Amino acid sequence: MDKLKKVLSGQDGNNDDLNILQAANEASTLSWGNRVKGFIGCFLLGVVCSVMGVCLLWIPRIGFILFIVFYTFGNICSLASTMFLLGPFNQLKRMCEKTRAFATILMLLCLALTLCAAFWWKNFGLALLFCILQFLAFAWYGLSYIPFARDAVLKMFTICVK
């Protein structure tokens, strides 16, 4: 368990110089048990919000707005849940790694564009398109944490296309 805790917190043998964000991350008052509870709570809140958004989609007139708000908030909560395990600095560092930087930018861009399309531009067809892209970008981002998962998905699609 200690090895898992060290790997998830980014202390797997790297003795880099501490900067302000790392020092703040290490000075966290949360114990490992509280971090796991925070992760589970935040992740479940994200899942519940996403599912609730889909259920609210069928309410006349305001259902689509509620869907966009709850679905996007659910994705943000699910993404933020890993900050409890890794700490904010390590999470941001991993999000910006070369292998997942494009997926991170695409996912955050889709989150923002979904809300812009719904509230600013008032174009619900475009908002729905961005919701779908948001889902795909979040899935692609999640696959970046599983070794060779992206390669397997790409290979599966190339086989299906042939």
Residue 2 confidence class, pLDDT cut points 50, 70, 90: low
Of 95, 114, 147, the residue that ends a domain is 95
Task: Answer with the one of 95, 110, 138 that is the final residue of a domain.
Answer: 95
pLDDT for position 151: 92
Q: Quick one: 27 and 82 in the same domain? A: yes
pTM score, two decimals?
Answer: 0.76
Is 5 inside any structural domain?
no
Average pLDDT over residues 84-107: 91
In a domain, 103, yes or no: yes
According to the model, what pLDDT value does residue 36 have?
Answer: 92
**Burial (CB count within 10 angstroms: exposed 0-12, middle 13-18, buried 19+), residue 126:** middle
Cβ-proximal residues to 117 (8 Å cutoff; 6+ apart), any chain: 123, 124, 126, 127, 129, 130
Residue 132's H or E segment, with its range, is: helix 124-143
| Conformational region of residue 23, where left means phi above 0, alpha means psi within -120 to 50, and beta covers everything else | alpha
Confidence tier at 10 by pLDDT (50, 70, 90): low
What's the residue count for the chain? 162
Domain end call among 42, 71, 95: 95
Q: Clarify whether residues 27 and 90 are in a common domain.
A: yes
Structural domain boundaries enclosing 54: 19-95
In a domain, 144, yes or no: yes
Domain count, the chain: 2
Q: Within a domain: residue 8?
A: no
Q: Is residue 49 a part of any domain in this protein?
A: yes
**pLDDT the model gives residue 30:** 81
132-149 residue pLDDT tens: 999 999 999 989 888 899
The predicted-structure confidence for 24-78, as pLDDT tens digits, reads as follows: 556 567 888 999 999 999 999 999 999 999 999 889 889 999 999 999 999 999 9
Residue 6 maps to a domain: no
Tell me whether residue 11 is in a domain. Answer: no
**Are 119 and 76 within one domain?**
no
Q: What is the mean pLDDT of the chain?
A: 86
pLDDT greater at residue 71 or residue 21: 71
pLDDT at 76: 95
